[in-house]
Structures are given as C-alpha cells and as structure tokens.
Structure 1
Amino acid sequence: MNIEQEWPEPVVRVQTLADAQVIPDRYIKPPTERPHTSSAPGGAGSVPMVDLGGLKRGAAERQATMLAVSDACRHWGFFQVVNHGVSLELMARMREVWKGFFDLPMEEKQAYANSPVTFEGYGSRLGVKKGAILDWGDYYFLQLFPQSIKNYDKWPSLPASLSRETTEDYGEELVKLCGVIQNVLSLTLGLDEGFLHREFGEAGAGLRVNYYSKCPQPDLTLGLSPHSDPGGLTILLTDDHVKGLQVRKGGSWITVEPIPDALVVNVGDQIQVLTNGRYKSVEHRVVVNEATERLSMAFFYNPQDDLLIHPAKELVVDGTSPMYKPKTFKEYKLCMRMLGPRGKMLADAMEAT
C-alpha cells in the first residue's frame, strides 16, 4: 500500500472557520450520521470509573480493582481512572502549553503543517480519500517512542512555554501507566503479568493533541467521526469542563462525563485481536458545540510496527478458533491512514472466515 505524499485537496484549518455563520458543505455529515439523529435514548449507564489506588492496597482491594478494570474492558472498552499516578501538575501544564500552541497566529502554526507520510505536525484531516466529508477539528501529532523514530524537527518550538521537557515527561509517565494496565489485563486473562508486554515487543507511542473549535452548526457535523482506535491502549486527557467524547454502548451514544484529575482509558483493536475478542475495542466519536472550543490529548500506546499481531495461542483453547487473521500493526495503521475513521470496519475486516 503506497503512502500518499500530499493531501488530496488544499488543507483548510477548522480554526479559521469557527466564526462563520454556517459550516462549509465539506463538514456536513449525512443525516443518519449527525449527532441529533444517530444518538439513541439513554439508559445504557455511564462509563465506569476505577480507582487505581486499590492496586496498592490490601489483597482484597487489589483484586476488586483488577476485576473492575477487566469488567470495563469486556463490557465497555472504556473506563476513567483516578489515583493513576500521573502528576496532576504535569497534566495541567500539558493543557496550558498546548493551548498556547493553538492560540498562536495561523502563520506561525502553518510552519508545522503535516503530510500523510507520517501525520506528524499540525493537521486538519485524517485519511487521504479525495472528496471525503471532513471532521470539525484540528490536531498536532507527535511520535514519542521508540526513541529511534522520534523526529525533533516535527516538534514545535513555539510558544516559548511549550518545552519538549513537558511533553516528554508526560509521555514517560503515561508509558508507566500503560505498563500497569497491561499487567492488570494480562493477569485477569489468567496469564502471567508480562504477557502483553511480550506481545507488544518494542512498544511505540504517539501523542495527538486535538483542538475542536466552536462550531456554528454543531448538529450537522462531528469533531471526530465514529471509530475504534487501531492501536493497543489509548490514554486520553480530556477537558475538565467541556463535554465532547461519546462512546457507543449497544444502540446508544453515551457522553463521557469529565471527572476532575481523571484520565480516560480505552482498549484498541490490537488488544481485541491479541485477546481473541475477550477485551473489545469500542466505537467512539466527538461532538462539538457552539459556545466554546475543547482541547483533548490522546496518547496511543501500540505494538511494535513489524510484529505480526494475532490471537495469542494461550487464548485459543477448548475447541475455539482464532477470531482474527494475522496482520502487522504497520499494515493495519496504513489502512487507517488511507481511509480515515471508519467505525469498526478495520477490526471487522481482520475477522477470520
């Protein structure tokens, strides 16, 4: 599969459209995909919240915490965590410095414009299909790990407060949190705690800072179309005050209620494949609003690019069969880059027949 070198059409920054009276046709979703018509009535509950502090307490609390994480991954694919060990001061600093980037004059941000080759830098679309209906959002994407692929030329040097140290420190703390969650998921599968670490190989990680501008017609568009994450684990730092993230649960879209100092965790497609469907990635989307912008930061923790990802043999037992065909993560994410967010289509395409 060839990687496109340039975007198929001129890139328009959504920030430049925020004060318009109407949104351009390129952002208007089909009627069945708009927020007000595709949302089923509530009643499916709320995304679980897990206090990870229980992992450091007595045996009973540790077991209860692990069970809560496992249940959330089996039945929701999403959960919020508190007492997660990530510095609250560092989380606040990340919000501050990255908001500073998006507040820069447009000509200064444009110096960091990205391309479909790596997606690193300042972007405004996912996928390279010509004529695609676009989402109402801009972003900045960086590769953080492994060190061998980190390209500081893609890191912004402006504003002055946006130091590499802040983003790198944050990335290191989230790698540790992902390691804790990997241990829990491995043990709750009945395997040793190093299982997912081994299956991921030399794990990679990236950060996408999402900026959803205010929108004059939020009922016609989405900040991010429904999709499941293609990687392993995603840790999301959300806006403490502005809602936007929605998770599909059955026939309903459930809005994630922000919890102060919490992080949102979700399972990606690669863990669904590795666990032979025991833990499931789940569709989610972002809605926008007319009154204010919203900033969120998605940290993606992924298997090594060239490792073949397939259901673990330990989980294909008792007469069951592998549910998914093998594919490297590199092959998988190239499909996502070509097509953009497309529900659960990519994971479904890997199902064994």
Structure 2
Amino acid sequence: MSFLQSWPEPIVRVQSLSESGIQKIPNHFVKPPSDRPFNIMDTKTTSINVPLIDLENLNSPNEFVRKETIDGISNACREWGFFQVANHGVSHELMEKTRAVWNEFFQLSLEEKQKFANSPVTYEGYGSRIGTEVGAKLDWCDYFFLHYLPEALRDENKWPRLPVSCRKLVSEYGQELVKLSKRLTTILSIGLGLNEDYIHQSFGGNNETSACLRANFYPKCPQPDLTHGLSPHSDPGGITLLLPDTDIPGLQIRRDNNWLTVNPIPNAFIVNIGDQVQVLSNAIYKSVEHRVIVNSKKERLSLAFFYNPGGDKLIKPAHQLVTKDCPVLYSPMTFNEYRSFIRTKGLTGKCQIESLKSPR
C-alpha cells in the first residue's frame, strides 16, 4: 500500500472548533441534504434494543443453555450484524478507568495532543479525518488510533504519554479485549458449522492477527442536523467491540432502510460484524451499515476495538460454505488491499464490499 505522507489539506481539530463558540459549522462538515441525519432528536421513536447475550451462560453445565447462547449469537450475526454482550469477563473497573483516561486525554491542551498528530501513512495517533481525497466532506469527530497487534506493529511510544496511566491502562484493556475477541470468533465459527478456530486461523492465528483501538471523541456540535460524527459505513475488518457512551446514545444502525438508534446497556460491549467476516461466511453473517450522530448539548466518547485479519492474509469465503445453491459471492483480497480503499475514500457505506462480489 502507498499513502500520502501528509494530509492533503490543513487539519483543523473539531474539538477546537466546538470550543471556539461557533454557531455555524464550516461548510466542509455539512453533508449533502440526502445524507443528513434528519429527526435525530426524536430518539423515542427510533431507538432499538439489539440482541443482548449473556456470555456467562456459556459456562452453564446445561448443554441446552450453552447451545442456546451460541445460537443466539449466530442468529444475531445473520439477522442484525450487531449484538451486545454482558458478563463478558472484562473488569467493569478497567472499562471505566480506560474510558476515563481517554476523556482526560482529549481535555489536554492542543499543544500536548498535537505531539501525537497522525498522518495517512498509518493513521496511528491523534487525528481528525478519514480519507485523503481533497475537498471531502468531513465528520464531526477527533480520534486517537493505535495498533495493539501484531507485536511488530505495537509501539507504546506512539501512545499518549499523558495522562500518566494511559499506556498501562490501554495495554491491560487491549489484552482483555483480545481474549474476548478470540472467544467470540470461536463462537462465530461454531455458529457457521466450521472448526472452532476457523476464523482465528483465517485471521492469521496468534502471530499475524491484528488488533487496534480507536478512541472517538465527538465534541458538541451547534448544527447536529447537518453532519455526522461518523458517516454511514460498515467496518472493513473482522469484528468490532464498542464501549459506548451510555449517557447519551449516538450509534445508529441501518435496518430495513431506516436508521435506528442503539440503546447501550451499561457495562456491556456492542459487538458488530465487519466486512471480512461477511466475506469469510459467504454473506451468512452480515456487516451492517451504521453511523454516529452528534449532539448540541453534550460531547461524547466511545472506544472501538477492532479485531482484524493480518494485513497480508487473503480473505475469501470458506469452501465449506460454498454450495451449488450458495456459490462464491466474493473475490479474494488481502486485508491491506481492502482497507486501502477506506483510507483513500473515507467512509462510504457498503460500496467497498459490494465491489468484491464475484460476477455470476
């Protein structure tokens, strides 16, 4: 892959714009009328509870309870592409401390945060845009992106040095979410009728599987009906574990051509299927288009942990899932090749995975 060494246009931090007291957002954040999140304040009529799975049931001595839990996750992946997990084994205290330390980071001076400013080469660091196209419509979001796996890409010196507990907490949090991700990919594989380690091995096993964290900060926005925190997209990778802001919902998923606001459950993770799992499952599991709305009264923060194939792993439908009635739907592509589209074009719905479909 080849990317620009610097962003094609000057970077203006969204948080700085918000804190300046502007009443109108700059034009490069204003979405075309057809893409705007109309009626975003009417959450009572658009909110929804995605399936909630109690992972503690997997430890039940009752085989029926264990099977019912696996089937519940499999059905959620087929019908929703999203579900929430409770009793997942990650310390609630660690979750809260990690969320708090990222909130502290975004309240640091701009000068301190700028020391970790990112570039399109790796996206690692403090950023404010996705995609390198000149003149693109931008999202109302600042973020910090870092690599956790594989070990060769992990460089804690690129992680925030302040607050002083940040690097230690992020390391512990990442370790726990890798464990949870491995557990979930095992369940997903079983739900497809594959060997339990099929997805894990397809991602590259213990040595090549990649994982990264993106801390998303959504400042208050004076015109939330004109822009997005994150534009509509499906996640390009494997699976995503989201620790949302439970005080004010912001995640919306597309279902039956409607945008529905997800109600987050305290101390639960929102899990969604990425494009690579849709490809591996030959579209039995679905990656679903989603977006993030912003708010005029309150800032928000969420932590998205991405568990992905290694960059050089060729991802294609599992041959066990290809039949005469269900032929191969997608052409093989490495994850590096796949995500280069996102890093160039930005977030563009599901057009990338649709372009992979094999000609009939």
TM category (shorter chain) comes to over 0.9
Amino acid of the structure 1 residue aligned with 2:86: V
Change (3 A) 1:43 1:122: closer
Percent identity between matched residues is 53
Shift of 1:41: 11
2:73 aligned partner: 69
Counterpart in 2 of 1:215?
221
Count of residue correspondences: 352
Corresponding residue of 1:10: 10
Give the match for residue 230 of structure 1. 236
In terms of mean alpha carbon deviation, does 261-270 or 181-190 score higher? 181-190
Counterpart in the other structure of 2:50? 47
Say which of 206, 210, 229 aligns to 2:212: 206
TM-score if structure 1 supplies the norm length?
Answer: 0.97
1:33 aligned partner, one-letter code:
D
Q: For residues 280-319 of structure 1, what are the structure 2 equivalents within 5 Å?
A: 280-319=286-325
Q: Is the 2:48–2:263 Cα contact (8 Å) retained in structure 1?
A: no
Report the residue type matching 2:9 in the other structure: E
1:198-243 Cα distance to aligned partner (Å, 9 max, x none): 1111210000000000000101110000000000010000112111
Alpha-carbon distance in structure 2 between the residues aligned to 1:218 and 1:184 = 38
Residues 47, 262 of structure 2: 8 Å contact kept: no
Summarize the alignment of residues 314-333 of structure 1 with structure 2, pairs less than 5 Å apart.
314-333=320-339
**Shift of residue 168, structure 1, vs aligned partner:** 0.9
User: What displacement does 1:42 show?
Assistant: 5.4
1:42-82: per-residue Cα shift (whole Å, max 9, x none)? 57953111111111112111111111101110011001111
1:318 CA displacement: 3.9
CA contact under 8 A between 2:48 and 2:261: conserved in structure 1? Answer: no
Please, which moves more after superposition, 178-187 or 124-133?
A: 178-187
Kindly provide the amino acid, as one letter, of the partner of residue 6 in structure 2.
E
Do the aligned residues in 2 keep the contact of 1:44 with 1:252 (CA within 8 Å)? no
In 2, the alpha carbon distance for the partners of 1:211 and 1:41 equals 24
Deviation (angstroms), 1:2: 2.8
Q: Which among 115, 121, 127 is matched to residue 111 of structure 1?
A: 115
Q: What is the rounded CA distance, in whole Å, between the counterparts of 1:170 and 1:40 in structure 2?
A: 31
What residue in structure 1 maps to residue 28 of structure 2? 26
Q: Matched residues in 2 for 1:51 and 1:289: separation?
A: 31
Q: Specify the alignment match of 1:250 in structure 2.
A: 256
Pairwise CA distance, 1:160:
2.4
Native 8 Å contact 2:243 2:303 kept in 1: yes
Residue in structure 1 matching 2:102, options 75, 81, 98: 98
1:339 pairs, out of 339, 345, 351, with: 345
Structure 2 regions of 5+ residues with no counterpart?
none
- Determine the C-alpha separation between the residues in 2 that align with 1:185 and 1:45: 23
What SS does the aligned partner of 2:291 have? strand
1:352–1:41 distance in 2 versus 1, CA, 3 Å:
farther
Inter-CA distance 119–315: structure 2 relative to 1 (3 Å threshold): same
Q: 2:132 aligns with which of 128, 131, 141?
A: 128
Q: Distance in 2 between matches of 1:103 and 1:298?
A: 19
Matches within 5 A, 1:143-158: 143-158=147-162
Match of 2:187 among 176, 184, 187: 184
Are the equivalent residues in 2 in contact too, given 1:128–1:340 (CA < 8 A)?
yes
